[in-house]
Amino acid sequence: MNVFSEFWATYSSVVQFALINMLLGISIYFTLYTGLLSLANAGFMGIGAYVSAVLTIHAGTPLPVSLLAGALSAALIGWLLGLPVLRLREIYLAIATLGFGEIVRITAVNFDKFSGLNLLGGAQGLSGIPKLTTPGALLFVLIILSIFLVQFHKSRAGRALAAIRRDESVAATMGIDVYQYKMLAFVLGAFVAGLAGGFSAHLTRFVGPTDFSFNAAVNILAFAVLGGTLHWSGAMVGAAILTVLPEALRFMKEYRGVVNGVIMVLVIIYLPHGLINPKWFQRVFSKRRAQ
C-alpha cells in the first residue's frame, strides 16, 4: 500500500495528463478515421478550456455543467467551421484548420481588449481555476466514449465513415451523403477535444493562449500516427505512450526529445499503420491456430 501511495504521489499528474491526452487521441480519431486531415483539435480544446473555466470561476457552475458547456461550445464552433472547410481536401484542409487554431489563440489574447471584459486574462492567461478534475471522472468519460465507439462502428454512421475513408466517390454512388457524414465526424471530434480542454483547465488550474498553438496540434496528430487509426484504441495507446515516455526517459535529460523523434520515425517506417493494427493481430492469431 505504501508503494502505491508513493507512486501515486509522484506520478498522479502524469497519469491524469495521459488520460486527458487519450481523450484528445479519440478526438482526432474521428476525423482521421473518415479520411480528414484536420489540425483544428488544439483550437477546439482551447475553446472548451476557456468556456468551462470562465463558467466555473464567474458563474460557479458545477464541473459537469462547465465541461458540457465547453464541449458543446467547441462542437458548435466546429459545425460553423466545418461549413466552409469540409469542402477542402488533404493538405488544403490541414492548412485551413491549422489557421483556425491560430485564430483561437489570437482571439484569446485580444478578447479582453475588444470586449472590455476581463474574462480570459489576455496574453497572461486565465489562472485561479479550481482544481476539480479527478482520475475517476476521466476514467468514467473514457469508458463511456469507448463503449460509444464500439457501438458507433456497428452503426450505419460508422460504416458510412469507413466507406468515405476508402473512396468518397464510391461512397457517394452508394447513396451516402459524404458532406453530412464528414460534418458528423468533425463535430464529434470537436466535442471530445472541448471536453479534454475542460478537464485540462481544471487540472492545471490555468489556461493560456500558448497551450493550444501549432505544437499542440502536432502533438495531437502524433498520438494517432504512433498508435494508428485502424482501430479506435490506437490513438489512445499512442497518447498514453507519448505522455509517459518523457517521464520514463527523464534520466536522458535534454536528449529525451531526440529519443521521441527516433521512435516516431521507426514507427512510421516499420509500422506505417501504427502500433495497433487489427490486421496484424489477425495474422498472428491465424498463424497460431494453423500451427
Contact 164, 34 (CB under 8 A): yes
pLDDT along the chain (291 residues), means of 10: 68 89 93 90 94 92 95 96 89 90 89 77 86 93 94 90 88 88 94 96 91 87 86 88 82 73 81 74 53 53
Name residue, grid cell 480542454.
197
Cell numbers describing residue 96 = 485551413
pLDDT value of position 64: 94
SS3 130: coil
pLDDT value of position 72: 96
pLDDT value of position 290: 52
Query: Rounded to whole angstroms, how far apart are CA atoms 100 and 98?
Result: 5
Cell numbers describing residue 101 = 487554431
Q: What is the Cβ-side half-sphere exposure of residue 225, based on CA atoms within 13 angstroms?
A: 18
pLDDT value of position 227: 86
pLDDT value of position 153: 87
Residue 273's identity, in one-letter code, is H
What are the sequence ranges of the domains in the chain?
Answer: 12-213
SS3 271: coil
Question: Which among 127, 134, 131 has a CA at the least distance from the CA of 12?
Answer: 134
pLDDT value of position 140: 95
pLDDT value of position 61: 92
Which residue pairs from 5-13 have beta carbons closer than 8 angstroms and sit at least 24 positions apart in sequence? 11/247, 12/135, 13/203
Query: Rounded to whole angstroms, how far apart are CA atoms 94 and 102?
Result: 13
Q: For the whole prediction, is pTM greater than 0.85? A: yes
